[in-house]
Amino acid sequence: MASKKKPAPRKKRSIASPPSRKAHTGRFWRFLRTVCVSAVASFGAATCALHPQWRDYVNIEFVLAQLSLPREEQVASRVLPAGAQVQTHFSRCQQFFPDGRAPVVPTGHALRELCFSSFAILHNGQTKTPVFVAQRLNRQMLARSKLVQRTDRFYAEARLPFSDRAELADYRGSGYSRGHMAPAGDMHSPEAMAQSFSLANMVPQDQRHNAGAWNSIEQATRKYIMRAAGNVYIFTGPVYTGPPETIGDGGVAVPDYLYKVVYDAVSGRVWVHWQANSPNTKAGPPISYDEFVRRTGLRLLATG
């Protein structure tokens, strides 16, 4: 009697472990963001083409600016605790500070840290303007900025509470410019350009000063960076010396002075432009960093 053949053992099939929930979530978010960007851009372009009068109400740049931010930065901003002096952190955008060391500043009402793709802002909810706006620039970045088209689409910063932020209506009819602290001319990507028109990056600035002496300082700073050997760090912001004039129903504070700290990380050189927010201000010689700290209490550099 013939013996029965034993069936060949089945080969075990290797089963790959399923992707983690985190990987699924990350892929889903990237997919959703891509779809949203495409949809918003298409809808906005079609709407503005068919109804040019609606352009003031369809702020495409605001939506794209929010979509280009890291997800966690869209949801909340970091609120700093009260105290005589406050150590800022900017843990999600330390690249804008020399050696990643964030500044120490005097306390203020509702100070919030905001990270953008090309700059960082410490915002004051009482004045509804920045305490400072920090940038890191170099020759390569400024070369790319020449290829980026200016958008001029201002928007209120949605990451700030309504009670602490400036609105477009506050500037309307005020007689003041919406003065950039991180200039649009420094922005080296379309996302950075769109984000630079956040009102969190603005102060009420005298129009003649904005177009005259201050513009000259911004251009001179860019010329220096084009000659510099490496990274140059810039801090720009307003100074208030007493109860300020305000504009709009929201009470956005008009600064008495504007400053721009320029620090060359390679050479170690540092200087500060100090300008009255006035129509007759001329572009004069800078002051020392030590004098700036004495006047403001802002220790923007780790050595200050």
Contact status, residue 61 vs residue 197, Cβ threshold 8 Å: yes
Task: Report the alpha-carbon distance of residue 271 to residue 286 in Å, rounded.
Answer: 6
Is 273 considered catalytic here?
no
CA 36-40-43 angle, to 5 degrees, is 135
DSSP 185: G
Q: Is the dihedral of CA 203, 204, 209, 210 positive or negative?
A: positive
Quick check: helix, strand or coil at residue 229? coil
Contact status, residue 193 vs residue 148, Cβ threshold 8 Å: yes
User: Could you tell me which of 41, 43, 42 has the C-alpha nearest to residue 64?
Assistant: 41
Q: Compute the 3-state secondary structure of the chain and give helix, strand, coil in percent, each to the nearest 5.
A: 35, 20, 40
- Catalytic residue selected from 24, 109, 180, 273: 180
Joined tokens for residue 33: 């963001």
Cross-strand partners of 168? none
For the annotated catalytic residues, the residue numbers are: 180
